[in-house]
Amino acid sequence: MRQFTSNELRKAWKQFYIDRGHVDVGAVSLVSDGSTGVMFNVAGMQPLMPYLLGQKHPLGTRLCNVQGCVRTNDIDSVGDKSHVTFFEMMGSWSLGDYFKKERCQWSFELLTQVFGFDADHLAATVFAGDENAPRDEEGAQYRIASGFKKENVYYLPADDNWWGLEYGPCGPDSEMFYIADRPDCGPNCGPGCDCGKYTELGNDVFMQYEKHHDGHLTPLKQKNVDTGWGLERILAFLNGTRDVYQTDLFAPVIAYIEEASGVKYNADEKLTRSMRILADHLRTGVMLIGDEAKLLPSNTGAGYILRRLIRRAVRHGRTLNMTTEQLLHIAAMYIDEIYAESYPLMKKNREFILSELQKEIARFESTLENGMKELQKILEQKRSEGKKEIDGKSAFYLYDTFGFPLELTVELAQEENLTVDEEGFAAAMEEQKQKAREGQNFSQKLTTAAGVFDGLDDKITSEFVGYDALTAEGKVVGLASETELVNTLNEGETGTLITDVTPFYATMGGQKGDFGVIRTENGTFEVTETVKIAGGRIGHVGK
């Protein structure tokens, strides 16, 4: 295997595909536009969704890039050797151009000719088939034809070899693995086994279908290929380690944390975990604030995730006895050194990033100090009572008064061998929300699914067509004033309209809902807000 720096790996990936007729489309914002129902871009293919569904891309049918992504669904795993919240996906795509034959051939060439893997140490998996789609015999044949040994090609079920988001393009995928020189752990040892013999290298997705909101599949208008390889994971493996924090993306930061804290990496499991969380979360915070979206910490949506990451980094920084100045120095290392070449926008936004980080750290430092004192009182009380659980109301008190997120209370409690009554916390939260609802305006009531449309027939729903169109024709199927269902709205009156078809995107996933105009034969309705309503309906709020 050949060793790479992170910059060399990015360049090698893109050049390989450029040499084969692909165009580097560059990266887009880490913050999602909301069109796929998630707050961040979580996959390299996500920004290309319209083109995978058939829209013509202005740069052609063969594309490649290195796309930054943010995922926090497995944030509790961050702290081990492999999990991160920000990562880069090296991607390439065929939009109705080549399909499985070329894809399999080029993946084998990339593995053997560019990365220097021995063919005898390579394995691949293909989709075994189920009631939704047939066994991918074609994929297996092309893997073998490209150079994979027949005995090293495995058929696995959809849980392993089917790719897709909640809805949109999907299809069978084929993963590639490195086979270590070690005995099988048992008779069923193979790709997907966690014994360590097989290491996943990359994934080729053969997009043949579209998954609709109701779950059924239809053939795509065009067959696409989506290839995604995780840069951090591949970089670590090529450089002879399973620890991504020992690559050049993290190693300088880890070395600085060692120096500043006096703690040696890998000397203490708990403190090493704190070092990794600190390095990862600050990196993601820097990336999100320095992104073209210039995301800022807040109490809702994507901003809340950012706030949680920064505050979690601060908490683990305190565990390592690190000061605010030292945390900001780590942030500056990512901007000035590690990503200076690959993310020039970071340098441009340097002062903005560090200033906003400093503000958020300062906000949380006082919160953390006061909240920790109160938490210690609660812990002492529970211990004196012989209890092993923090009740939900106490956890909510920490949240409501000191800004302690539930996950922080849970994490701190675990370190003291206590649990938290999370159901009780949810009940206390709901009680507060119910009180808040009483003072909400009309549109806010609709977004919480409480409102005047509850009496409509369950068959009345809204079909969203805004991914493909900015305008649409439909029928008004529900009309309400601020207090009740009505048949008409007069000039100057505020209300909500439900149509059977709409291009208006409803507020969701941190993305603000659309505004615009609805015209009928008898008048014009100015939409100021679009909200989701229970029962699969979309409400257009306006005058």
The whole-number pLDDT of residue 190 equals 92
Q: Report strand pairing: 23-24 vs 122-127.
A: unpaired
Q: Tell me: the pLDDT tens digits for 363-393?
A: 888 777 778 888 889 988 988 899 999 999 9
Averaged confidence pLDDT in the chain: 89
More confident residue, 244 or 438: 244
> Is the pLDDT reported for residue 475 higher than 60?
yes
The most confident of 155-164, 202-211, 278-287, 523-532, by mean pLDDT: 278-287
Least confident of 12-16, 319-323, 329-333, 538-542: 538-542
The whole-number pLDDT of residue 438 equals 41
Band of pLDDT at residue 535, cut at 50, 70 and 90 = confident
More confident residue, 467 or 205: 205
Band of pLDDT at residue 447, cut at 50, 70 and 90 = very low
Q: Tell me: the pLDDT tens digits for 224-257?
A: 999 989 999 999 999 999 999 999 999 999 999 9
Assigned token pair, 495 = 């209300």
Band of pLDDT at residue 443, cut at 50, 70 and 90 = very low
The whole-number pLDDT of residue 244 equals 97
DSSP structure class, residue 37: S
| 238 contacts 2 by C-beta, under 8 angstroms | yes
Least confident of 29-33, 259-263, 500-504: 29-33
The whole-number pLDDT of residue 10 equals 98
Candidates 2.40.170.20, 1.10.10.10, 3.30.930.10, 3.30.70.100; CATH matching 6-243 = 3.30.930.10
Assigned token pair, 79 = 């702290």
The whole-number pLDDT of residue 449 equals 37
- Tokens 């084929």 — which residue? 174
Proportion of the chain above pLDDT 70, given as a percent = 94
Q: Tell me: the pLDDT tens digits for 67-122?
A: 999 998 888 889 999 999 999 999 999 999 999 999 999 999 999 999 999 999 99
The whole-number pLDDT of residue 288 equals 97
Candidates 3.20.20.220, 3.40.50.12240, 1.10.3720.10, 2.40.30.130; CATH matching 443-542 = 2.40.30.130
The whole-number pLDDT of residue 32 equals 84
> Is the pLDDT reported for residue 424 higher than 60?
yes
Proportion of the chain above pLDDT 90, given as a percent = 59
More confident residue, 528 or 476: 476
Band of pLDDT at residue 445, cut at 50, 70 and 90 = very low
> Is the pLDDT reported for residue 441 higher than 60?
no
Residues paired with residue 478 on neighbouring β-strands, in sequence order = 498
Band of pLDDT at residue 450, cut at 50, 70 and 90 = very low
The whole-number pLDDT of residue 542 equals 87
Residue 24, C-beta contacts closer than 8 angstroms, at least 6 positions apart: 14, 17, 18, 63, 64, 65
More confident residue, 319 or 326: 326
Assigned token pair, 225 = 């290929």
Band of pLDDT at residue 37, cut at 50, 70 and 90 = low
Determine the Cα angle at 253 with ends 249 and 256, to 5°: 155
Q: Report strand pairing: 495-499 vs 537-542.
A: antiparallel
Say how far apart CA 350 and CA 331 lie, in whole Å: 9
Say how far apart CA 224 and CA 108 lie, in whole Å: 19
